[in-house]
Structure 1
Amino acid sequence: MQKYTTPCGLECERPLSLHPQPRNSASSPLPINCSCSSCATHGHTPPLETQASLGCGACPAPRPPPRRPRAPLPGVSAAGGLSSRAPPRQPTVARKRLRGHRGKHVILMKCQAKPYCLCQRGSLSPCQPFVLAYIRQALALGEPSVKIEDVTPKISPSGPLFPTEKRIAELFETNTYSVVNIFDATLRPQLNITGVVEIPEGNGSGVVWDDSGHIVTNYHVVGSALSKNPKLGEVVARVTILAAEGIQKSFEGKLVGADRAKDLAVLKVDAPTDLLKPINVGQSSALRVGQQCLAIGNPFGFDHTLTVGVISGLNRDIFSQAGVTIGGGIQTDAAINPGNSGGPLLDSKGHMIGINTAIFTQTGTSAGVGFAIPSSTVLKIAPQLIQFGKVRRAGLNLEFAPDPIAYQLNVRNGALILKVPASSAAAKAGLAPTGRGFAGNIVLGDVIIAVDGKPVKGKSDLLRVLDDYGVGDQVTLTVRRGAETLEVILPLEEANV
């Protein structure tokens, strides 16, 4: 059977007259890599690598579907052909950013009815519409093929962390298992109209204190349950602990003891020993303003959240719900929000230096001024709550005038005694209360100005000084009575606060 040579340079059994003749056959020789549709019909499609080369431009161009007329490009007539005034252009390689592909792409137009791109994977896939429009315009300008490269910048792998970042990440990963999430058992979350669970009022944090399952938190975190005067051992909260595999496990939190005056409470969970990771407690007495600190908690219900800041101030007075001043408070600019209460404040070594307890704000969210109960106070209160269920706090069992009232009575320095119970040790020592004279005038009582030589500026200052003593300790009070100064020795009693 006779074979004929096609315009593509291939042999075909069909006569040459059945193949479309190239438009420029009279002016230029036929190329050997034409991929016209007729050749493809008879199985003469050239190999893929051959198609990737420049086309011949000899086969009739496919007729595009009708579309709305638009403004022609410079040098292009309204019909889509070359303008008679525009000089013929040489084939060029155009570069264009292509978001839909990766790597380099060779767009094959030549004699095919549809444009395709040759990706790095070696497969033909249709291009995006905006690319096709770009290719049609390029062909109309005389470019038989267009090469498009992805100019997206190379994505570099993330580098190693800085030493400080690495240290903070390690501290968080180590201590996050010692932080628990606490929900007040008496408060139930409600579904709002959007179906999102609202954050319960009693949501807060806590720290694992020991291997026995004791959890230290703030009094106000479980304040709603404690306001019902539960007995020791009753369930007052749900406690969730993060396991090593990243699963939150929930347990019942039973009341061990609470101290409203210092805003501290201790719960107990019956959890496996391997799940309990006690926190490392450090000393807060050697802290310095400016040193770095970290706060871990569950703000707004987002469990195990880390914030970083510095210690902004020391020896701040924190007023508890009982109206008692918690002395030695730590001020920090680490973000402390509702839900952080009861969580630990850590130093740069990962030791707990305080329990986050309050924020100074007018909006209910963090304003860069947060406070924490110092670890020195926690170390005094928590063991007593675990052992006795309450705090045996040393005191004088006297009623003192609030500092503003004492100031109005011209007491500028010291704690003014208002009442002295008859059965108290202070009464036996001869301390005098404030009273009224025969004419109805106010007769000021004794004013305590020092305890064992430590100066006392007012009521709150006296209570802070007495925190360093235990029940039964003998103290020497420096008392101002009228124009004279006395020294009174007496034992401290268990405070009724």
Structure 2
Amino acid sequence: MQISVCNSWSSLQSLGLFSFPKRLLFSQPVCSDDETKHIVLSSQPTSTQRNCIEELGEHKSFNPLTKRRMLLTSCFMYLCYHPSRYLSAQALGDPSVTIEQVTPPVFPSGALFPIEERIVQLFEKNTYSVVNIFDATLRPQVKVTGVVEIPEGNGSGVVWDGLGHIVTNYHVIGNALSRNPGQGQVVARVNILAAEGVQKNFEGKLVGADRAKDLAVLKVEASEDLLRPIKVGQSSSLKVGQQCLAIGNPFGFDHTLTVGVISGLNRDIFSASGVTIGGGIQTDAAINPGNSGGPLLDSKGNLIGINTAIFTQTGASAGVGFAIPSTTVLKIVPQLIQLGKVVRAGLNLDIAPDLIANQLNVRNGAVVLQVPANSLAAKAGILPTTRGFSGNIVLGDIIVAVENKPVKNKAELDNTLDEYSVGDKVILKIQRGNENLELPIILEEKTS
């Protein structure tokens, strides 16, 4: 039997269907009209419908659960899927008005405010010094939808000089560098923005890389008119609160500008290359994946840092970004260009990692574990950690300062020694048991 329900719930209630006793529900067809059996419910039932309802009330054979479900399901299907619900809305218009009458006036934007004009000029001047870098071993993949998936090795870089040297982060091309390429080998693809706004693609050949400072130098064979070197500023004179700008290629969107302020100085940067870099610049300028290797500029447009990392739980900018200061960049990049490596002044000693130092109950200072024979440290009289006759550990010297600069752990010792050059003579403050000593020592080239 087919049950057709119309109008609304009030129509059903007007018929008293939801107040029927259970005996009105039946299991066999009744009230036939020719060969098709219908019960049509409307707001004003016909005489035939009234007769059917009266017959229902006298019928004794029923299945209460099944018929009630059928009735409720029919009501629900009608209310939800009746074609009248999907008829297009009637368009309303006012033919008494014209297009001109309902079109508001458009006012010219006029001249920019001075601060806006300055930022625009800084971007237009420096954007040609920023390049887009792709790790040569990681190719973008075009999906069926046409969306380009940007690989992890996508980043930014800056034009360092007119010879074609490009500076970027070590981790931007880290996958290619993990294969130990030689100098001159192609490790990246470099896109340079031409004056007409067209990206020109070049092979980026490895010049040198320094994992400890997350910096790398590439070289491209590009004409001089395409190479617009960045102007390098002094990061040592930065102050918290001054304005800064970041230009890069976040998520593959090339030449994107973000503006912020210097939020902090002398931060420890936990770089994506797996090392800790001291003296970092903290900024709230939005830095996202793809900004790595791009420039952080001051309000004069000078390079004050190389963007390298973000602090986030989601992978996107959370208002805490970090940059390698230009003082560090100026010290590392020329060496990479000239020598292909970085020559560091240091002490050829084995210094205990923080975990071992904590196990030895040393909370302040760098614990000396081993001192190679015939090294300058051995000649200066620095003592290593040893074992006593009973098997107990005898602590070696603990370096607590270099030239009155406090040293709390191994990382701070390395960062402090980075400020010196090979051959410099420094005074180490040593804690040896209950004694406090001062030992002069000449710094030598630190072996990797």
Contact 2:233–2:302 (CA under 8 A) maintained in structure 1: yes
1:220 aligns with 2:189: no
Code of the residue aligned with 2:150 in structure 1: it is I
Give the match for residue 300 of structure 2. 349
1:383 aligns with 2:334: yes
Give the match for residue 357 of structure 2. 406
Larger deviation: 177-186 or 411-420? 411-420
Contact 2:272–2:309 (CA under 8 A) maintained in structure 1: no
Q: CA deviation at 1:323?
A: 5.2
Code of the residue aligned with 2:131 in structure 1: it is V
Relative to the length of structure 1, the TM-score reads 0.69
**Root-mean-square deviation (CA), in Å?**
1.6
1:185 aligns with 2:136: yes
More helix by share: 2
Alpha-carbon distance in 1 for matches of 2:297, 2:181: 32
Instruction: Give the % identical residues.
Output: 76
Contact 1:260–1:321 (CA under 8 A) maintained in structure 2: no
Alpha-carbon distance in 2 for matches of 1:178, 1:403: 40
Alpha-carbon distance in 2 for matches of 1:424, 1:208: 40
Alpha-carbon distance in 1 for matches of 2:359, 2:297: 42
Give the match for residue 310 of structure 1. 261
Structure 1: unaligned runs, 5 residues or longer: 1-128, 136-145
Contact 1:203–1:301 (CA under 8 A) maintained in structure 2: yes
Relative to the length of structure 2, the TM-score reads 0.77
Code of the residue aligned with 1:196 in structure 2: it is V
Q: CA deviation at 1:473?
A: 1.5
Give the match for residue 492 of structure 1. 443
Larger deviation: 154-163 or 305-314? 154-163
Cα offsets for 1:465-494 (capped at 9, x unmatched): 101111121222111100111222222121
Alpha-carbon distance in 2 for matches of 1:413, 1:252: 48
Contact 1:324–1:460 (CA under 8 A) maintained in structure 2: no
Alpha-carbon distance in 2 for matches of 1:321, 1:391: 20
Give the match for residue 238 of structure 1. 189
User: Helix, strand or coil: the match of 1:285?
Assistant: helix
Give the match for residue 199 of structure 1. 150
Give the match for residue 43 of structure 2. none
Task: After TM superposition, list the pairs within 5 Å mapping 1:19-98 onto structure 2.
Answer: none
Structure 2: unaligned runs, 5 residues or longer: 1-90
1:158 aligns with 2:158: no
Alpha-carbon distance in 2 for matches of 1:489, 1:324: 29
Q: Which has the higher contact order (CA 8 A, sep 6+)?
A: 2
User: Helix, strand or coil: the match of 2:209?
Assistant: strand
Cα offsets for 1:190-245 (capped at 9, x unmatched): 23342322102211000000010100000001111111111101111111100111
Code of the residue aligned with 1:490 in structure 2: it is I
Contact 1:253–1:269 (CA under 8 A) maintained in structure 2: yes
Task: After TM superposition, list the pairs within 5 Å mapping 1:87-166 onto structure 2.
Answer: 148=98, 150-166=101-117
Kindly tell me: are residues 292 and 147 of structure 1, through their superposed partners in 2, closer, same or farther at Cα, counting changes over 3 Å? closer
Cα offsets for 1:382-438 (capped at 9, x unmatched): 000000000001110211122343234232321111111223211222211112222
Q: CA deviation at 1:174?
A: 0.2
Larger deviation: 393-402 or 294-303? 393-402
Give the match for residue 229 of structure 1. 180
| Structure ID, larger Rg | 1
Kindly tell me: are residues 478 and 467 of structure 1, through their superposed partners in 2, closer, same or farther at Cα, counting changes over 3 Å? same
Alpha-carbon distance in 2 for matches of 1:308, 1:315: 20
Code of the residue aligned with 2:312 in structure 1: it is T
Q: 124, 130, 137: which is aligned to 1:173?
A: 124
Contact 1:266–1:382 (CA under 8 A) maintained in structure 2: yes
Alpha-carbon distance in 1 for matches of 2:231, 2:299: 12
Kindly tell me: are residues 489 and 321 of structure 1, through their superposed partners in 2, closer, same or farther at Cα, counting changes over 3 Å? farther
Cα offsets for 1:49-100 (capped at 9, x unmatched): xxxxxxxxxxxxxxxxxxxxxxxxxxxxxxxxxxxxxxxxxxxxxxxxxxxx
Alpha-carbon distance in 2 for matches of 1:147, 1:430: 97
Contact 1:261–1:321 (CA under 8 A) maintained in structure 2: no
Code of the residue aligned with 1:409 in structure 2: it is L
Q: CA deviation at 1:271?
A: 0.4
Q: 211, 216, 219: which is aligned to 1:260?
A: 211
